[in-house]
Chain A
Amino acid sequence: MRLFEALVVIIAMCVPFVAMKSSDLTAYIYWTLVSAAYLIFIALRRW
Chain B
Amino acid sequence: MFIYALILYLIIGTAIAFFATKRISTDEEYFIAGRRVGGIISALTYAATTYSAFMMIGLVGLTYLSGVGALGFELFYLVGTLMLLSYYAPKIWKMSKEKGLVTPGDLFTVRYGPRVAKVLAVVVALALIPYTSLQFVGISLLLSREIDFASGIIFSAIITALWAFLGGMRSVAWTDAISGVFMMFMAILPIFYAFQMLPDRDFSKLGELLYVPNSFWRYDVFIAYTLPWFFFALTNPQVVQRIFIPKDIKSLKRMVILFGFYGLFYTVFVTFIGLQLRLLTEYGVFPRISDRDLVMPKFLELLPPWLSVLVALSIFAAAITTADSIVLTLSSMFTRDLLNNRSVLAGRILVVLTTVAIAVFAIQRPAYIVDLAVMSSTILLCQLPLILGIFHWNFGKEFSAIVTLITGFSIAIFLYYTKLTLGIPIPVWVLIFSFAVFFLSAEIEKRFIVHT
Contact = CB atoms under 8 A, between A and B. Distances in A.
Interface in A1-47: 2, 5-6, 9-10, 13, 16-17, 20-28, 31-32, 34-36, 38-39, 42-43, 46-47
Interface in B46-91: 68, 71-72, 75-76, 78-79, 82-83, 86-87
B213 interface: yes
Contacts of A39: 82, 257, 260-261, 264
A2 B87 contact: yes
A34 B76 CA distance: 10
A20 to B, nearest CB: 6
B253 interface: yes
Contact of B212 (A6, A16, A32, A46): A16
B206 interface: yes
A44 to B, nearest CB: 10
B275 interface: yes
B203 interface: yes
B15 interface: no
B193 interface: no
A23 B86 contact: no
B19 interface: no
A29 to B, nearest CB: 9
Contacts, number: 79
Contacts of A47: 86, 253, 257
B414 interface: no
Given A28-B275, A47-B257, A23 B212 contact: no
Given A32-B264, A38-B79, A23 B210 contact: yes
A22 B256 CA distance: 34
A27 B82 contact: no
B72 A16 contact: yes
Contacts of B206: 23
Contacts of B207: 23
B83 A6 contact: yes
State the main secondary structure of chain A at its contact with B. helix
A10 B412 CA distance: 25
A2 to B, nearest CB: 6
Contact of A36 (B210, B257, B264): B264
Contact of A32 (B87, B219, B268): B268
Given A31-B72, A32-B75, A20 B83 contact: no
B211 interface: yes
Contacts of B71: 28, 31-32
Contacts of A10: 79
B394 interface: no
Contact of B82 (A24, A26, A38): A38
A26 to B, nearest CB: 8
B204 interface: yes
B260 A31 contact: no
Contact of B75 (A2, A13, A20): A13
B82 A42 contact: yes
Contacts of A43: 257, 260
Contacts of B86: 42, 46-47
B347 to A, nearest CB: 33
A22 B76 contact: no
A28 B210 contact: yes
Contacts of B257: 39, 42-43, 47
Contacts of A24: 203-204, 210
B219 A17 contact: yes
A24 B82 CA distance: 28
A9 B75 contact: no
- Identify which of A5, A34, A38 gathers the most chain B CB atoms within 10 Å of its CB: A38
B83 A9 contact: yes
29 contacts: A2-B87, A6-B83, A9-B83, A13-B72, A13-B76, A16-B68, A16-B72, A16-B211, A17-B219, A24-B204, A24-B210, A25-B68, A27-B72, A27-B210, A27-B211, A28-B71, A31-B71, A31-B72, A31-B75, A32-B71, A34-B79, A35-B79, A38-B79, A39-B257, A43-B260, A46-B86, A47-B86, A47-B253, A47-B257
Interface of B: 68, 71-72, 75-76, 78-79, 82-83, 86-87, 203-204, 206-207, 210-213, 219, 222, 253, 256-257, 260-261, 264, 268, 271, 275
Interface of A: 2, 5-6, 9-10, 13, 16-17, 20-28, 31-32, 34-36, 38-39, 42-43, 46-47
Given A17-B222, A28-B271, A34-B75, 4 more contacts: A17-B219, A21-B211, A32-B75, A35-B79
